[in-house]
Amino acid sequence: ISAASALCCPRAFTRCINTRVLYDHYARDFSPTLAPDYPPEALLADPEALAGSIDARGGCGGDRAGWATVRAAAEALAAARNAAGRLREPGRRLEGSEAKLLKDEYRRLHDAFWDRALGLPNRLHPDSAAAPDFSVDMAAEETPSPPGLRRLRLAGRQLEFVEPAGLRLQSRAMDAAASLTAEAVNSAGHGWLLTRGPDWVTAPVLAACGWSEADAIDLPADKRDSADSADNPHLRLFLVGAASLPAMAAQLGRRQAATASLPIRLACRGRLHAPGRQSAEALSLLHGSVSAAACDAAFAETVELASAVWRRLANELPLPGRQRRIVARTVPPERLRLGESRRIDWTLESRDSDSLAPVPVASAAQLDEFVGRRLMCLNPRGQPLSLVHTCLLDCGSLLRTVWPE
C-alpha cells in the first residue's frame, strides 16, 4: 500500500503521495511475490502475472481496461504538463478540467474495485508461503556476531546482526547495543512472533484504515516516487512497509486469527521516514488482546521495555556529548494521533553538546477501541481487539542519523 499509511485510522489521517502510477496499489495488493522490495514496474509490465494473482484470490480484477485508460490519460497529462512548462491561463483552465474528469473516472473505478474486493475473504495470498502459527514463540537463540558495527535484521523468526555497507564506524559499544536490542525483544513477555509478510495490505484492512489515494492525480510527477518528500501534517515520524500498523494488523486479518489464541504479539522491521530527514530502520511491535485490562498491562510492559533498552543504550552508544539522557514524555490529548487513546514518546538528548539534536528513538501507543472493532469486523471468528503498537529505532540508524555519511 501507500508508503504513508502508518496507522489504522480515518481517511483524513494519512495522505498518500508515494505513488508511481494511479493504480499502483491495485498491483501491490495482489502481488504474487512475498519480497517486500519487489519492484511494482516488473509486475505492471507483466499483466498476465497480475491477472493470475487476482484470479487466485477470487477474481476481483475489476475493470482492467478502465484502469489502463485512466493510467494512460494521467501519464499523457503529466507529459503535456512537463513539456509545456508554465502554461498560459487558457491552458491551465483546460488542464484543470481534464484533471477533474480524470479524477471523477478514477473515483468511479476506485469505488467499483473496492466494492468487489471487500467481498473477498481476508486471507493470505494463495501464492504466499505459509506463516508460522501465532502460538509459536519467536526463536530466542543467540546469533554469532561478526566484528564491527552491526544493525538488526529480520531473518525468519529470529533477529540477526549485519554490517551496513559503507559504514566504517567500529565500536564494541555498538555490538552491545545491537545485542541488547535483540535480547530485549526476544525476552519481552512470552513470544513475540517475528513476521516476514509482504509490505501491502488486503482490502478489508484498508477499509478499516479508511485509506484512499484519489488525490494522487494532483501530485507533481517528480514527487510521486519519493517517500522522503511525504508531507503529512499529522505525523512527524511514520513507519512504512511491512512494519507499519496496517501491514501488521493485516497479518491478523488475513489469517482470520482466532481470539482463543490471544494475546498475539507480532514483531516486524520497517523503514521510518521523517520529513526533511534521512530515513531509518525501526522495529515495530504489536500486541493484541480481547481484554482491555490485558492491553493496559501490555502497554505498561512495552513502556518499561523501551525505557530499559534506551536508558542503557544512551550510555553505551558512541554519540556526541558526554551527558546523554533518555526523556520520556506523555503526549497530551490534543496532540494524539487519530485512533490513539494514549502515547508515550522517547527522545535521546544531550545536555553538553549542541551537535546532538533531540532524536526520537521510541514510541508506544494504545489504540482506541474503534480501531480493533473495525479491524476484526470482517473476521467471522474475531472479537474486537485492544491493541498496543510500539516502535523502537534501530541502533545503526541512530548512528547514521547523528553521523550521516
- Answer whether residue 76 is part of any domain: no
Per-residue pLDDT at 232: 30
**Running DSSP on this structure, what letter comes out for residue 234?**
T
What DSSP assignment string belongs to 322-390? S-EEEEEEEPPGGGPPTTEEEEEEEEEEESS-TTS--EEEEEEEEEPHHHHHHHHTT-TT--PPEEEEE
Tens of pLDDT, residue by residue over 131-181, are 332 222 222 223 333 333 333 333 333 333 344 343 333 334 344 444 444
Per-residue pLDDT at 296: 82
What DSSP assignment string belongs to 20-43? SSTTHHHHHTT-S---TT--HHHH
Report cis status (omega within 30 of 0) of the bond before 263.
Answer: yes
Task: Please give the model's pTM, rounded to 2 decimal places.
Answer: 0.46
- Answer whether residue 90 is part of any domain: no
Q: Residue 66: count other Cβ atoms within 10 Å of its Cβ.
A: 16
Per-residue pLDDT at 141: 28
Per-residue pLDDT at 55: 53
- Answer whether residue 145 is part of any domain: no
Per-residue pLDDT at 307: 77
* Separation between Cα atoms, residue 397 and residue 3, nearest integer Å: 19
- Answer whether residue 169 is part of any domain: yes
Task: Give the mean pLDDT of 275-288.
Answer: 66
- Answer whether residue 332 is part of any domain: yes
Which residue reads 535484521 in cell numbers?
153
The percentage of residues in the chain with a pLDDT greater than 70, rounded to a whole number, is: 18
Weakest mean pLDDT among 316-330, 337-351, 355-369: 316-330
- Give, rounded to a whole angstrom, the gap between the first and last alpha carbons of the chain: 30
| Phi, psi angles (nearest 5°) of residue 134 | -65, -25
Q: Which residue type, as a one-letter code, is found at position 131?
A: A
For residue 266, give the 3-state DSSP assignment: strand
Contact call for residues 77 and 95 (beta carbons, < 8 A): yes
Contact call for residues 292 and 280 (beta carbons, < 8 A): no
- Answer whether residue 259 is part of any domain: yes
**Given a cut of 60, is residue 302 above it in pLDDT?**
yes
Confidence of residue 9 (pLDDT cuts 50, 70, 90): very low
- Answer whether residue 50 is part of any domain: no
Domain coverage including residue 232: 151-402
Q: Domain containing 245 — which CATH number?
A: 3.30.930.10
Task: Give the mean pLDDT of 179-190.
Answer: 43
How many folded domains does the chain comprise?
Answer: 1
- Answer whether residue 362 is part of any domain: yes
* Separation between Cα atoms, residue 371 and residue 293, nearest integer Å: 17
* Separation between Cα atoms, residue 112 and residue 63, nearest integer Å: 8
Cα separations in angstroms, 129 against 33, 35, 193, 318: 9, 11, 16, 40
- Pick left, alpha or beta for residue 64 (phi over 0 → left; psi -120 to 50 → alpha; otherwise beta): alpha
